């Protein structure tokens, strides 16, 4: 598969693993958009350093995801490659974990997959081309002390990905 001129969207793409993925996709010839949510300064430094477009939106919010993809399609073109990498941690022992920490991690790390895949899948199917990569963690298989929320979300990523693959 040639990557030349393919449009890739990397969620959580301005730092850490997402940063490395975005840079490698650009090197492979893709037009890349890296999303971020919180760290404006880091995102703008990334854009300046790499020349990769950045876009701020909350992957946990379906409407923001939909608007972001529509904007990318209007300004750059249809998303060919989606890397669902955005993720957060809110670690704490379950007996001390608040509902807010639980929901924030589940929404950002798992619900975001539905949000992002749902807004790109129809276009990918209509064009007969698309690649979606969902980033999980070993903690989704093994669990981790103080990460009931994170481990549950990452286990959900694995199940979601397997189910979605059977639909293609």
Give yes or no: 36 in active site: no
Q: Rounded mean pLDDT of the chain?
A: 96
> pLDDT at position 3, please?
77
pLDDT tens-digit map of 98-145: 999 999 999 999 999 999 999 999 999 999 999 999 999 998 889 999
For position 50, what pLDDT does the model report?
Answer: 98
Are residues 101 and 92 in contact, defined by beta-carbon separation less than 8 angstroms?
yes
Using alpha carbons, select from 82, 163, 168 the residue that is nearest to residue 120. Answer: 82
Question: What b-and-e string marks burial along 80-117, b requiring 16 or more CB atoms within 10 Å of the CB?
Answer: bbbbbbbbbbbeeeeeebeeebbebbbbbbbbbbebbb
Q: Say if residues 124 and 71 touch (Cβ distance below 8 Å).
A: no
For residue 112, give every residue at least 6 positions away whose Cβ sits within 8 Å of its Cβ, in sequence order, or none. 11, 59, 60, 65, 84, 86
Return the structure tokens found at 142. Answer: 């093994």
Q: Cα–Cα distances in Å, from 133 out to 44, 90, 157?
A: 25, 24, 10
Residue 2: per-residue pLDDT: 67
pLDDT at 7 over 80: yes
What is the percent of the chain where pLDDT is above 70?
99
pLDDT digits (tens, 9 = 90+) for 58-70: 999 999 999 999 9
Q: Pick the catalytic residue: 68, 150, 155, 161?
A: 150
Q: 80 vs 1, which has greater pLDDT? A: 80
Length of the chain: 168
């Amino acid at each position: 598969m040639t990557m030349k001129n393919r449009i890739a969207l990397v969620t959580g793409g301005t730092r850490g693993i997402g940063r490395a993925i975005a840079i490698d996709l650009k090197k492979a010839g893709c037009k890349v958009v890296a999303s971020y949510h919180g760290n404006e300064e880091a995102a703008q430094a990334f854009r300046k350093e790499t020349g990769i477009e950045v876009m701020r939106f909350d992957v946990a919010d379906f409407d923001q995801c939909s608007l972001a993809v529509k904007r990318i399609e209007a300004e750059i073109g249809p998303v060919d490659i989606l890397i669902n990498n955005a993720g957060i941690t809110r670690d704490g022992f379950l007996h001390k974990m608040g509902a807010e920490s639980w929901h924030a991690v589940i929404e950002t790390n798992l619900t975001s997959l539905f949000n992002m895949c749902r807004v790109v899948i129809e276009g990918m199917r209509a064009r007969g081309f698309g690649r979606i990569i969902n980033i999980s963690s070993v903690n989704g298989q093994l669990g981790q002390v103080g990460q009931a929320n994170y481990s549950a979300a990452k286990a959900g990523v694995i199940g979601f990905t397997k189910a979605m693959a059977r639909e293609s």
